[in-house]
Amino acid sequence: MIKVAIYGKGGIGKSTVTANLAAAFAVKGYKVVQIGCDPKADSTINLLGGNPLIPVMNFMRDNDDEPTIDEMVKTGFGGVECIETGGPTPGIGCAGRGIISTFNLIDDLDVFGRFHPDVVLYDVLGDVVCGGFAAPIREGFAEDILIVTSGEKMALYAANNIKTAVDNFADRGYAKVKGVVLNHRNVENETEKVQAFADEAGIPIVGEIPRSQEIIDWEDQGKTVIEGNPDSDIAKRFFALADYLIKENS
């Protein structure tokens, strides 16, 4: 099973990368589960035709009970099984606890045993890997990590924090950083800045997504580029990223 956690600065494009990657795997014939680990609960929306999924934490808060598998999981484009952890009421509680509670529920309900995924993708909010936000990379969940960044100063700062935090837990059997995905924002000397970070961190740039109106246009329709225009140059880049992860896990 391919199990990948995708990290990066808030707003850097993790959900776009994750959803398109999930769709690319699905088109290739893989059974995929995508888990959105963000209180905004918008990771899977473009796999679901623009229709938001009720997050696990919201369900538990509104119903004072745990959801069933059928209430927690919704099938999206290409048969991707979608889950959103959600989070606490804004200003109250720790968002990381939502991730931990959802992961415990996934284990208790044997979600993976029911769906038998070939690929599990975790879309994780977190500039620093700590508390509940580290849950996806603990032993037994994700095995690989991708860091999404642009050439912007704060995005690279966050990327470095994530890499450093993961390195600090290297002896605990946590997941390992497999590469950087450069999600362009068209800042000056962007490729050179990200390449310099990657070289210093000792990790490769494994994907490069140009800033594209096409992505925005398809997301406005509640779709990934993979669903909307699978033959486009942008789509081919996500297919190539999927191929890289398949090769790394073969």
Active site residues: 9, 14, 40, 127
- CA dihedral angle for residue 180, residue 183, residue 185, residue 187, rounded to 10 degrees: 30
Residue (of 3, 64, 76, 12) closest to 38 by Cα position? 12
Q: Give the relative orientation of helices 233-248 and 14-27 as an angle to the nearest 10 degrees.
A: 80
